[in-house]
Structures are given as C-alpha cells and as structure tokens.
Amino acid sequence: MLDVGFIRQETDLVRRALRAKGESADIDWFLRLDKDLRAVVTETEGLRARQNQLSPEIGRRKRAGEDADALLEEVSDLKAKQKQLNDRKDQLELDLRRILMRIPNLPADDVPVGHSDSDNAIVDTWGEPRTFEFEPKAHYDVGDALGMFHSDRAARISGSGFSLLTGALAQLERALWNYMLDIHTREHGYTEAAAPYLVRGTSLEGSGQLPKLEGDMYRCRDDDLWLIPTAEVPVTNIHRQEILTEDELPLRYAAFSPCFRRESGAAGTDTRGLTRMHQFHKVEMVAVTRPEDSDAELLRIRANAETILQRLDLPYRVVLLCTGDTSFASAKTFDLEAWAPGCGKWLEVSSISTFRDFQARRAEMRYRPAEGGKPRHVHTLNGSGLALPRVLVAILENYQREDGSVAIPDVLRPYMGWKTDIR
C-alpha cells in the first residue's frame, strides 16, 4: 500500500498513476476521510489527556477523605464524549483502510504507458527459433504420442484444468525443478526455502493478492486458509513484522512450490495442454533489499531467470510490461516468454517484478540503517525461476524429433539417469 502522507502530498501523481494502471479509487473521498480522522483523533486525545490529569487527583482526594464528586462527574462526562468519538474513529479507520488496500502500486517512471499487452515493449530477445524439417507438433500431441500425457484421465480425477504426467515426462518435470533450484542456490546466492502451501488471509494481504484477487484463489473455509497462488506469498511473508538489520540485506530466497489458481477470469481460454492450469509447479525467487538496491536487484533476478532458459537452450524474449499490464502490487515487471514452435506462441515462463516498498508496508517489513535512526521499509522483489509446465511445453516443442521422441536437454541429463531422450 502507499504511504498516507505521500497520498496527501502527491495527490496528482497518485491520480495519474491510477489512471495509467487502469485502476480507480476515490482519492477525494479518501483525503476527506483522512482529514476527518485526524480531527477526531486530535479531539479524542485532548479529552484523554484531561482524563489522565484528573485520575491521580481523584485517587489522592479519595485517599485523603476529601470530596471528589465534581471531578468524578467531569470524568464521566469526558468518557461519554470519548465513546462517541471512538465509534466515529473506528468507522473512519475501517473506511480508510478499505480504500487504501485497494489502491495499486505506482508504476516506475520508465514503464511504458499503455492499456493492453500490445503496448508492452520487447526489450530483448535471445536465441534463434529452431527450424524443423517436419511440421512440429503441439506439446499435448507430443505427450499423447509418448503415452505420458493424460488430459482425459486428469479430467476424470479433478476436472478440467488439471494435468496428469507419467513416466519420463513426470520425471522430466522433477528434473527441471531440481535443476533450477540447484542453479539458484549454488550459483546465484539464493537460500532455499520450503514454505507452507496454505496461508492465512493476512499473508495474502501482505503480498498484495488480497483483497483484490479474492476470486482467483482457492479458499478453505472451514479453517480460513488459502491455497497459495505462488510461493511469493509465504516467502515474501517470511520476515513479516520484523525489523531487520542492514547487514542482513539483501535476503534472497528460492522456493519450489505448487501453485493453485482458479483462473476464474480465463474460463474457456487455453483449455488444451499445459499452458493454463488450476495447479502447477514453479520455482520462485524472492529478494528483500535496501531501497537504493532494488533497481539493480530487479535486473539481477531477471538475469538469474534468463540463465535457466539459456542453459536449456530455449529461445525467448524479454518484455517490459506497460502500465496497464503491470499487476496491482508491482511497480515494474519484466516477462520472459519462451518460444513454443508447436503452438506457435510465446509462452510466459517468468514474471519478474519489483514492488518497491508496497508489500513491505503491508507486511510491516523494515530494517534499521547501519548508521542508526528510524527503521525504513525494505524493498521486495520476486521472479519466477521458472514456471514449470510452460518450460516443459517449450522443451517438448523445441526438442521434439520427427519420430515422436524428445531429446533431453544436456543440462538435465544428470537428473534423468543420463538418458539422452524420451521415447
């Protein structure tokens, strides 16, 4: 969330940013409630101060056997007034918070202004799309032919939007996430984290999914827990309500997790294959930095994610999302899109974002500067490193051969018992 003082002072900037993101919030009403709140607080505290003055005096007089009736009367008067003001204060705070939690993060200055993905900027490409001597098949046809991809059975078990992989294909997915975690922890300096897959609502507020994305997630109502849509949620909340020391920063975590998404707004799209699932696996990178380091960290995470694609030798492009495509909590987001020659599509396999202090403010994550002074909010960032089913798709479609077999990328062979292909 944004700082209330900032909204007060930079009102126009906030308005402009909201418009650029295609979001709306009643800033005027917010400011008015904010003003009312401060008036009420000032008045209540004055009454309270007076009461605090009277109490000891009442005690003294009672003990001395003197008359305290006049003071008691004044106190009961003060309390009655405070009660009224307090009700008003509670209501104002509730209303303000409701608005504040729905105001999105401001986009960074260098994010292109735009409404849809057609306004996104392609900032880099890597690799040459492979050429085939035959018509490359879509991954589901490749998997079907191998007898290792079972959409009909998955549907019988859980309905549409779920996948069932068997044999070498299931193994290949496990090889991929092991490989990714190994690279990030051994070469990129991340600490591996195994975090809960069920979280409380407060964690989701901390990372920014709630309240806005309530309908996109699975909720266990009996226990008031939610299935995580990404490991970002538990991992970003690791240091919730902590004051870190400056020398602990930056913190870098890499975590594998399943991700659960209702995809309620996407019903009917991408129904075939593995590109849009209610449940999928992902390796996620999360960083916590000093504010002055977060811009560099964003590029670092992006490079870490790109490393995986490069070593898998999968052609991809880097997209800088425009204001309208940048998510609620993000200030700036890069997507990595791998080329899938079978579907003929660029698949988003990673999304790398800086949230600046937006999540830190919600999750109350701060650090104390080395030279002392007030705690400051940290900056948080994350990036997929990478999302598995789509990487699997890219591998199946890029590494397929005319005879229906699939070559195993070199770097994964140690994880696949040194097999060279799947057939």
Partner RNA sequence: GGAGAGAUGGCUGAGUGGUCGAAAGCGCCGCAUUGCUAAUGCGGUGUGGGUGUUGAAGCCCACCUCGGGUUCGAAUCCCGAUCUCUCCGCCA
3-state secondary structure of 300: helix
> Is 46 among the residues that bind RNA (CB under 7 A)?
yes
CB 14 within 8 A of CB 106: yes
Point out which span in 39-47, 106-114, 163-171, 286-294 binds RNA (CB under 7 A). 39-47
95 or 182: whose CB is closer to RNA? 95
| Marked catalytic residue, from 93, 242, 246, 348 | 348
The dihedrals phi and psi of 127, each to the nearest 5 degrees, come to 85, 160
Closest CA to 356 of 260, 288, 286: 288
Establish whether 276 is a catalytic residue. Answer: yes
Q: How far apart are CA 316 and CA 340, in angstroms?
A: 9
* Helix ranges restricted to H, 312-368: 358-363
> Is 82 among the residues that bind RNA (CB under 7 A)?
no
Copy the structure tokens of residue 52: 């605090």
35 or 153: whose CB is closer to RNA? 35
Q: Strands 279-289 and 121-126: what pairing?
A: unpaired
x-or-dash string of contact with RNA, 309-328, rule CB under 7 A:
--------------------
Q: How far apart are CA 171 and CA 204, in angstroms?
A: 32
The dihedrals phi and psi of 111, each to the nearest 5 degrees, come to -85, 125
Establish whether 306 is a catalytic residue. Answer: no
> Is 198 among the residues that bind RNA (CB under 7 A)?
no
Establish whether 261 is a catalytic residue. Answer: yes
Placement of tokens 């294959």 in the chain: 273
Q: How many chain residues are in contact with RNA, going by CB under 7 A?
A: 26
Least separation, in Å, of the C-beta of 75 and RNA? 4
Point out which span in 59-67, 139-147, 260-268, 389-397 binds RNA (CB under 7 A). 59-67
Among 6, 29, 59, 194, binds RNA (CB under 7 A): 59
48 or 413: whose CB is closer to RNA? 48
182 contacts: CB under 8 Å, gap ≥ 6: none
Type of residue at 136:
P
Type of residue at 259:
C
CB 247 within 8 A of CB 227: no
49 or 299: whose CB is closer to RNA? 49
Among 2, 27, 31, 54, binds RNA (CB under 7 A): 54
Least separation, in Å, of the C-beta of 90 and RNA? 7
Least separation, in Å, of the C-beta of 3 and RNA? 8
DSSP state of 165: B
| Marked catalytic residue, from 276, 290, 311, 413 | 276
> Is 48 among the residues that bind RNA (CB under 7 A)?
yes
Placement of tokens 């960290």 in the chain: 297
> Interface residues with RNA (CB under 7 A)?
38, 41-42, 45-46, 48-49, 51-52, 54-56, 58-59, 62-63, 72, 75-76, 79, 243, 366, 368, 372, 374-375
